[in-house]
Amino acid sequence: MRRILLCLFLAGAASQAHAQAPAPQPEPAAPQASDTSKGMTGMWELSNSDRDRVCNLTFKPEPARSGSQVEFDAACGDAIPPLKDVEGWILANQTLKLIDSRGRTVFELSEVEVGMFEGERKDEGLYFLQTAASAAVFAPKRSVDEIAGEWAMVKSDKPVCSLSLTKTATRSFDEYRLSIRPPCDPAMTRLSPNVWRLDRGELVLASPNGQSWRFEEREPKKWWRVPEAGEQIVLQKK
């Protein structure tokens, strides 16, 4: 009888403990970027009001040590030195903050219209941030007179070739003669361009066999090859 009573007591205790055990909770869902933040991802342009200091940057949704990731073109640190400290971005209440690794604000810009932010830094004046597409629309159109002259081709920050873009027109009214001076980088030698032209805001170097390289202006007198492939190639006017 004592054995029967002991078994009944233990069974009841186990049943009561099972009833009181908390139900398993579902794992928390991974945080999702807001629709507003999603609209920020992609390439943007940051510039001062005179547009003589310009930087192309790319906002990414992946988390950084502070905020979300942001990538800069190689020349950004020289064009706008405070960007050297920026490691992430945060968007809240139509205010974008570019922050350093400790979460401190380096730039703070407010949305003034869709695809356009502006903010002021003490002793530096206003800065504007706009989508790359908007920047391309409002970028100043360059003339033949502005482009013609002596240029250096720079690869990975090292001058590797010299070019002379003339105003001598070819039979095609929108193409002009160019010449390269050796020694020159093998990539440019293989292309062997002999004419240049402006096409939809881009600078095009073309060879007799129909091959061409295209460049876009990202800083005054500095044009980056697009699309980028391998080592970065820049044309810089002397």
Q: Where are the domains of the chain?
A: 35-138, 144-237
- In angstroms, the CA 11 to CA 81 distance is 73
pLDDT at residue 8 above 70? no
Q: Terminal CA-to-CA distance of the chain, rounded, Å?
A: 106
pTM: 0.49
Beta strands 125-131 and 42-48 are antiparallel
**pLDDT tens digits, one per residue of 37-79:** 667 888 899 998 877 888 989 999 999 998 999 999 888 988 9
State which fold the 144-237 domain adopts.
Answer: Lipocalin (2.40.128)
Specify the length of the chain in residues: 238
Beta strands 116-121 and 105-113 are antiparallel
Q: Report the range out of 1-10, 22-31, 55-64 with the highest average pLDDT.
A: 55-64
pLDDT at residue 204 above 80? yes
Say whether 144-237 and 35-138 share the same fold: yes
Beta strands 195-199 and 176-181 are antiparallel
Q: Dihedral, CA atoms, 9, 12, 14, 15, nearest 10 degrees?
A: 170
DSSP percent split of the chain into helix, strand, coil, nearest 5? 20, 45, 35
Selected from 1.10.10.10, 2.60.40.3080, 3.40.47.10, 2.40.128.10, the CATH number assigned to the domain covering 35-138 reads: 2.40.128.10
**pLDDT tens digits, one per residue of 87-145:** 999 999 999 999 999 999 999 999 998 888 999 998 888 999 988 777 665 566 788 99
Query: What's the rounded mean pLDDT across residues 190-196?
Result: 93
